[in-house]
Structure 1
Amino acid sequence: MQIKANGISLEVQDHGNPANPALILIRGLGTQLVHWPDNLISGFVAAGFRTLVFDNRDVGLSQRFDQTGVPSDAEEIIAAAAEGAPLQSAYTLNDMADDVIGIMDALDIKRAHIFGISMGGAIAQLLALTHADRLLTDTIVMSTCRPLVERGAVAELLPKLVARDDTSLAEAQDALVAEYGLWGSPGYPAEDGFIRAQAKAAYLRGGPKAAGINRQLLATMAAPDRRPALKALALPCCVIHGLDDTLLLAALGAEIAAHIPDSVYHPIKGMGHIITPLLAPEIIRIVSDFIRKAA
């Protein structure tokens, strides 16, 4: 369903009993709500949560920001970053955090549990720092609390993250298969048919569109260092990170946990930078146990 949140249109799916505690799942860079494994959503519903998923701004069926005039070409972004030129962003991760609060307001959800992965994990941190009164707990998965592209890391990391448009469904499917090969969870592998079905579902929803993904990337790159602020956080927080994450190394997850007082840290062997159907039950178990103990 389309809802108006924070002044824009967002595509939201609401699963489970509305009377149950709300758990909002926040996706990472460039991905859509169809990239959540079905058994992750149904598992959280079975665990007693009203589970909400949505397309972040600029992807899927949510509002795009093509008219902002912000450069979103992959090569232009890489060249500007390499030269140290200032990179303009169409919006910030704080705006994206406010989108989550807008969803809660539109659905009359006073407080919610938050679960964010990768870029969504950075948004989850900002929600905890700016809207702690609206959160019950915060689960931060495969993320970092420091600036994404620090000095010296531009040449290595940025080319892996910028997007270029796929010209066909087959190309989009091949690209996602390759992504799973690079960043997937080797201890919890996904079948080729599942990956291709995910890519098809995303492609048929009008994306992924490189311009929107790159605008999200610019917002992520502009996000501030959160380490100092996290030290003052007083909210039940759980940090989950894969020991086999080849995109954001496990030390970055440990660093988040080290900066949040009394946080719970779960490193997972065999987990990379993607939650697969085989990994979903372990994630559900960890999060459900954490929330139950926090309550």
Structure 2
Amino acid sequence: MQVKANGITLEVQDHGDTANPALILIRGLGTQLVHWPENLITGFVAAGFRTIIFDNRDVGLSTRFDTATAPAEADDIIAKALAGEEIRAAYSLSDMACDVIGLMDTLDIGRAHIFGISMGGAIAQLLAIQHPERILTDTLVMTTCRPLVERGAVAELLPKLVAREDASLEAAQDALVAEYGIWGSPGYPASEAYIRAQAQAAYLRGGPKAAGINRQLLATMSAPDRRPALKALDLPCCVIHGLDDTLIPPDLGAEIAAHIKGSSHHAIKGMGHIITPMLAPEIVRIVSEFVRQKA
């Protein structure tokens, strides 16, 4: 369904009993709601959550910002970054956090449990920092609290993250298979048939579109250092990170947990930077137990 939130339109799926506590899942860079494993959603529903998933702005069936003046071409972004130029973003991760608050307002959800992965984990941090009165618990998965540029040399990192248009379904499928090979969870592998089906589902929903992904990347690049604010956070937080994450090293997940007083930290062997169907039951178990302990 289409939902008006924060002045834009978000594509949303609402699963489970609406009388149950709401759990809102936030995707990472460039990905769509169809990239959540189905058994992750059904697992959360079975655990007693009203489970809400959605397309972030600029991907899938949510509002695109194609008229924005911010750069969206991969080579342009890389060139400006290497030259040390300030790159103006079309919107911020705080704007994307406000999208979630707008979604909650439209669905008449006063407070919710939040679960964010990667870029979505950064958005989840900003929700806890800027809108704590709306958050019951915050689960931060495969993410970091540092500014993106602090994670390594721009010349090494940006080419791995910028997007270029895929001209065909087969190219999009090949690209996702390659991503699973680089960023995936080696202890919890996914079949190539599953990955190709996932890529097809995303492709048929109007994606991936490189411009939108790159605008999300610029928002991530412009996000502030969250370490000082996390130290003052008084909110139940669960940090989950893979010990085999080749995109965001596991020590950066441990750093988040170290900054949040009383947080729960789970480092999972065999988990990389993608939640696969094999990994989903363990994620559901950790989050469900964490929420029960904090309820």
Q: Which AA in structure 2 matches 1:153?
A: A
TM value normalised by structure 2: 0.99
Q: CA offset at residue 23 of structure 1?
A: 0.1
Structure 1's unaligned 5+ residue stretches are: none
Q: What SS does structure 2 have at the residue aligned with 1:225?
A: coil
CA distance in 2, matches of 1:40, 1:119: 19
2:242 — aligned with what? 242
1:32 — aligned with what? 32
Say what the alpha-carbon RMSD is for the aligned residues.
0.7
The 5 A counterparts of 1:81-96 are 81-96=81-96
Structure 2's unaligned 5+ residue stretches are: none
Q: CA offset at residue 151 of structure 1?
A: 7.9
Contact 1:115 1:140 in 2 (8 A): yes
2:156 — aligned with what? 156
Q: CA offset at residue 153 of structure 1?
A: 1.7
The 5 A counterparts of 1:76-115 are 76-115=76-115
State how many pairs are aligned.
Answer: 295
In structure 2, relative to structure 1, the CA distance for the partners of 1:137 and 1:151 (3 Å cut) is: closer
The 5 A counterparts of 1:1-295 are 1-150=1-150, 153-295=153-295
CA distance in 2, matches of 1:167, 1:68: 23
CA distance in 1, matches of 2:57, 2:152: 29
CA distance in 2, matches of 1:205, 1:251: 35
CA distance in 1, matches of 2:136, 2:36: 22
In structure 2, relative to structure 1, the CA distance for the partners of 1:152 and 1:12 (3 Å cut) is: closer
In structure 2, relative to structure 1, the CA distance for the partners of 1:176 and 1:224 (3 Å cut) is: same
CA deviation profile, 1:258-290 (whole Å, cap 9, x unmatched): 000000000000000000000000000000000
Contact 1:149 1:158 in 2 (8 A): no
Q: CA offset at residue 152 of structure 1?
A: 5.2
Q: Which AA in structure 1 matches 2:272?
A: G
Q: CA offset at residue 121 of structure 1?
A: 0.1
Q: CA offset at residue 116 of structure 1?
A: 0.1
TM value normalised by structure 1: 0.99
Contact 1:231 1:260 in 2 (8 A): yes
Structure 1 residue ranges (4+ consecutive) displaced by more than 6 angstroms after TM superposition: none
Q: CA offset at residue 150 of structure 1?
A: 2.3
Q: Which AA in structure 2 matches 1:130?
A: Q
